[in-house]
Structure formats: C-alpha cells, structure tokens
Amino acid sequence: MKITPIRHASMMIEAGGKVIQVDPWSQGNYDGLAAADLVLITDIHPDHLDGKAIAKVKKDATVFIAPAAVAKTVTEAKVLANGEKTSWEGWTIEAVPMYNLKRGPEAGKFFHDKGRGNGYVLTNGGTRFYIAGDTEGVPEMRGLKNIDVAFVPMNLPYRMPPDEAADTVRAFHPKIVYPYHYRGSDLSVFSKTLEGSGIDVRIRDWYY
C-alpha cells in the first residue's frame, strides 16, 4: 500500500496493482504518475471537481465514484449517496456525509450542505481508510469505528480549525491520522492537542 500526497485534497493510493486518484486537481503535478483505475470525487467545488485534471489521470477503463451533484458533470460516474456502499476490485467503498454544521457565507447558509458531498471509507485487506472531504466535525465522523488511517481537513473558513479537528479525531480515534486540505493552518496545534491520545499523527507536505 502506497499513498502519495499530490495537492491540497488530492492524493493517489496504490494497492494490489490498482491506482486510485482522489479529487484530482490541476494545481497538482501528475507528470509520470500512472493513470487511474478508480477516481473518487468528494464535492462540486473546483479544488475537488476539476475536468482538466480528470482528463490527465483517466484512461478508457477508469471507474468514477461520486455523489449525485458531481455526476451532473462527470456523467459516467457511479453515484454513491451518503450511507451507501459499493464494491470495486476487492475494495469496499462507503460514502460518509461531509458538511458544515455552523460555517457558511451568511446566516442560514452553509458552505457545504448535508447530502451534497461524500467523504469515503475505503476497506481493503482488512485495513480501513477514511478520507473526510470538506467537512466540520460532524456526528457521522465522530461516530466512525475501527479506522486505521484517516485524512482530516482543517482550514477556515470552509472547514474547521486544527483544535476542532483534533477534538473530532480524538472522538473516533483512528490509529493514524494525516492532516490534509490544511492550507494556512497551524498543524502544531493539531499535533499538540492529540498528544497522549495514542493516535499517530503524521504530517506530510501537500503544498510543496
């Protein structure tokens, strides 16, 4: 299993001879990377849904999994709604709600409405990976069980600050957590808040 940070919310997962691209984005460098067998897309915002980057990573046999809002643009995508599961090449893929509880552009509106986007739990060979997407520390995240590796966002105003992200991570207690989608955030706050929790905090550079 190999996980390569690419840019912001974009990453590549390689396992069992398969390549999974998550939220490909044109600001990332895809030169020399293998074409995707599977593309997972979390949301409609341009740092997650980028047609130019999708064209770079796809091949004729590429499978797409996405929420319905994304499938309006990526029409070949298999739609997965919050709470639904599917199987692909030995993987189980579950869509987890990702949304704002309190943050939005104005009173009564949210940056991410519940049901529009997906986080994903991927299970392969008994290992469970959680890719949170654009979200605050929602109850569905806090209630996750048996997560081995989690990728959790933390930057304002669209998601949550590092201390709030750490509190949420402590609630569902993955074995390993990687901050991602963290542009401009103080990751030391996240790490310090999780000291003594037994959670392995791993920092990688998504903004080389």
Domain harbouring 66, CATH code: 3.60.15.10
Region 184-205: what's the mean pLDDT? Answer: 96
Residue that wins the pLDDT comparison between 199 and 107: 199
pTM for the whole structure: 0.94
Domain with 105 in it? 2-201
Residues 6+ apart with CB under 8 A from 91: 38, 122, 123, 124
Q: What is the pLDDT of residue 157?
A: 86
Mean per-residue pLDDT, 164-174: 97
**Given the structure tokens 């519940």, which residue do they identify?**
114
Identify the pLDDT of residue 104.
82
**208 pLDDT higher than 80:** no
Question: Looking at the domain assignment, is residue 31 inside a domain?
Answer: yes
Is 132 inside a domain boundary? yes
First vs last C-alpha separation in the chain: 22
Q: What is the pLDDT of residue 14?
A: 94
Tens-place pLDDT, residues 72-117:
999 999 999 999 999 999 999 999 999 999 888 888 899 899 999 9
Q: How many domains does the chain have?
A: 1
- Would you say residue 206 lies in a domain? no
Neighbours of 168 (CB within 10 A): 22
Mean per-residue pLDDT over the chain, rounded: 95
The percent of residues above 70 in pLDDT, for the chain, comes to 100
- Answer yes or no: is 124 within a domain: yes
Phi then psi for residue 98, to 5 deg, are: -135, 125
> Which stretches within the chain are classed as H helix?
51-57, 68-71, 139-142, 162-172, 187-193
Per-residue pLDDT at 57: 96
Average pLDDT over residues 157-170: 93
| pLDDT (0 to 100) of residue 113 | 92
Establish if 207 belongs to a structural domain: no
Run of H or E including 179 = strand 176-180
